[in-house]
A and B are shown apart, each in its own frame.
Chain A
């Protein structure tokens, strides 16, 4: 009989070992799937995990791209993790991401074609505010009317998507675009562009912001009273109330911060890698970031690593499609497996497995 016994504190060894174990298990299970699809499993696994980092033809390009892809995921996930720790469930980061991009782009485009160094900072502020405001809707409805924030934040994603479509086709449409949908290209207008800061590194302002967010969140959780309150509210809500934590204030703060960071991520994407507001500008970062937050165990440093790992599977998956002709669906299923295994083996760091004899004496 197998029994689980809760460890008094998570095992240090297994916290490090479990992700490695999960990746190995995924390679085995994924390899079987790829073999069933008639592809060479070894080549497929190597292409996904190895080639983006070390392939002579691609690695110089794809290594910095890991940062580009991981940047927004990390930035959003750090914000979400604060709320998740406090038991505040913002699952509408995708909508806040969209609104950040729309507001930031609108602020910039209103000044087109002016040439000023102040425009980009202005857009950053507008983007952050846009995401913040969109996050404040569920926050206020929660504190004022006790409305469930999971549902409101999720529904607002669809509202934001409709707004995005109408902006791309209407107000923000490029007047020189011959009636086609989509805004002017912001990455091509010097005042609004968010380019690589050092050539060949992939570092743009969004990646910088992600790193800053990781450090700030780390300090907040370790050193600041607010971080303590967040942790307390999540672990022992009643105790938190006795300790003088104001739950409404926490809701407003957590949803505001996560909304703002998601909005910033949207702004940095629309001015950089994506370049413009288009009908399908958002590509699921807000949802993927939720997974990243949990894979990183809601810990800022963990999120940093989890974001990079997710980015690796995306880029490696793209290479596998291109080089080996794997269907996109197989990559999706493979990512799903990786997440399953990562979540499953997490058990080992929090619990001890005891094998008891038939007598049940342990």
Chain B
């Protein structure tokens, strides 16, 4: 196809795209493509998205063809990679990092017949763009409750990546639910200013442990903090992004630091969306699912956690799943003491997505 016919089809498609919503007829075969920000061997964020790709292959067999490109930098290269994918015949393209947001929308404008799905962003400028994210804070509530019960020093350490709303949600959810079961608890936050730097993450965990923290919660992607926790008996942590089950037990057979985990499970979403394209029901959506839809999974809670705590954590998980409980339910105040949520009020999605403040009781400032 040369450029002129390409532009012509694009113009034609644009007209169609604006006219109706989704193409009504289904497809026999779909090519699903994925853009990853890291290598599939990162053991965390990208690894989990790649598990989603494999799940799509397993689910649809011959009816789906997949392709992916790893370690695509956010920035100047993203738009080219996306365009090449579109030209290569992909029918649906998942862009799995926040930094691809504008590139996704730019390319979507040029290829109205191709569906684009952007993870963790907020821009949907064209009818062929969907956005999706997961309510990780729901998982943080459950692990926060476990952390509150398990800490003996009443100090929880949180390794933050960057001070963005998703991480602030995680810190607040962790603190609130730890506090609920343990009024004496406090939380120390260390900002690593990286998503992935195993040595620095290990140092951050070590610094927290030296400050008397005995529960490490991480919002960075490597298993290094757990490995560091394993060096000090009595310190526990949680798997992040993937299950990190290799830290359930130590090499000598004693219980390891990982007592549970928050797993990013993208498979249900990817299967649903590719399926929708196959049967002709795909339309642009803004998806923000959590435990209920199976996108945020609480990994196995190990024997190291007392049975009653485990039961309580599972009850909290189930209450969040069936909608009877929202992790941010009033009365809640902001850090400065001003009122945020009234009795029984729950946080709106808008408030959560732009969360820039700590809740009352957390000390320290959010850098910006």
Contacts and interface: CB of A to CB of B under 8 A. Distances in A.
B77 A178 contact: no
Nearest to B97: A280
Contact of B84 (A68, A181, A284, A318): A318
Given A178-B122, A322-B69, A325-B67, A188 B102 contact: yes
A231 interface: no
Given A170-B368, A179-B165, A322 B88 contact: yes
Interface in A180-204: 180-182, 185, 187-188, 200
Contacts of B2: 60
Contacts of A182: 98-99, 101
Contact of B1 (A57, A165, A166): A57
Contacts of B88: 57-58, 322-323
B73 A328 contact: no
B75 interface: yes
B342 interface: no
Given A60-B6, A61-B3, A322-B85, A179 B353 contact: yes
A178 B165 contact: yes
B71 interface: yes
A8 interface: no
Most buried by A among B3, B99, B193: B99
B309 interface: no
A167 to B, nearest CB: 10
A57 B164 contact: no
Given A178-B354, A275-B102, A322 B84 contact: yes
B286 interface: no
Contact of A280 (B99, B122, B354): B99
A280 B97 CA distance: 12
A280 B77 CA distance: 12
A279 B97 CA distance: 12
Given A178-B353, A281-B75, A322-B84, A169 B69 contact: no
Contacts of A56: 1
Interface string A254-279: 00000000000000010011111011
A109 interface: no
Contact of A61 (B33, B84, B106, B121): B84
A93 interface: no
B83 A282 contact: no
A148 interface: no
B356 interface: yes
A279 B84 contact: no
A325 B57 CA distance: 15
Contacts of A281: 74-75
Contact of A65 (B67, B70, B80): B80
Given A280-B99, A322-B84, A327 B70 contact: yes
Interface residues of B, number: 46
A322 B71 CA distance: 12
Interface residues of A, number: 50
A222 to B, nearest CB: 32
B81 interface: yes
A179 B354 contact: yes
A169 B368 contact: yes
B353 to A, nearest CB: 6
B83 A61 contact: yes
Contacts of A329: 39
Given A200-B3, A318-B69, A328-B70, A58 B75 contact: no
B109 to A, nearest CB: 11
A283 B354 CA distance: 28
A170 B163 CA distance: 10
Contacts of B122: 177-178, 180
Contacts of B68: 321, 325
Contacts of B40: 327
B101 to A, nearest CB: 8
A272 B354 CA distance: 28
A180 B84 contact: no
A266 B55 CA distance: 40
A283 B75 contact: yes
A162 B1 CA distance: 44
B79 interface: yes
A69 interface: yes
B6 A169 contact: no
A299 B96 CA distance: 41
Contacts of B58: none
A76 interface: no
Contacts of B71: 328
A30 B74 CA distance: 27
Nearest to B36: A328
A174 to B, nearest CB: 10
Point out which of A179, A273, A275 has the most chain B C-beta atoms below 10 A from its C-beta.
Answer: A179
Given A179-B355, A275-B106, 17 more contacts: A57-B87, A58-B88, A60-B1, A60-B2, A170-B368, A173-B368, A178-B165, A178-B354, A180-B164, A188-B102, A273-B75, A278-B99, A281-B75, A318-B84, A322-B85, A323-B67, A323-B88
15 contacts: A60-B3, A61-B84, A62-B80, A65-B80, A170-B368, A173-B368, A179-B164, A179-B165, A179-B354, A180-B121, A180-B165, A181-B164, A185-B102, A279-B162, A280-B99
Interface of B: 1-3, 6, 33, 39-40, 67-71, 73-77, 79-81, 83-85, 87-89, 98-99, 101-103, 106, 121-122, 162-165, 193, 350, 353-356, 367-368
Across chains A and B, which 6 residue pairs bring their CB atoms closest together, nearest first?
A273-B76, A283-B73, A179-B354, A274-B76, A274-B75, A328-B71
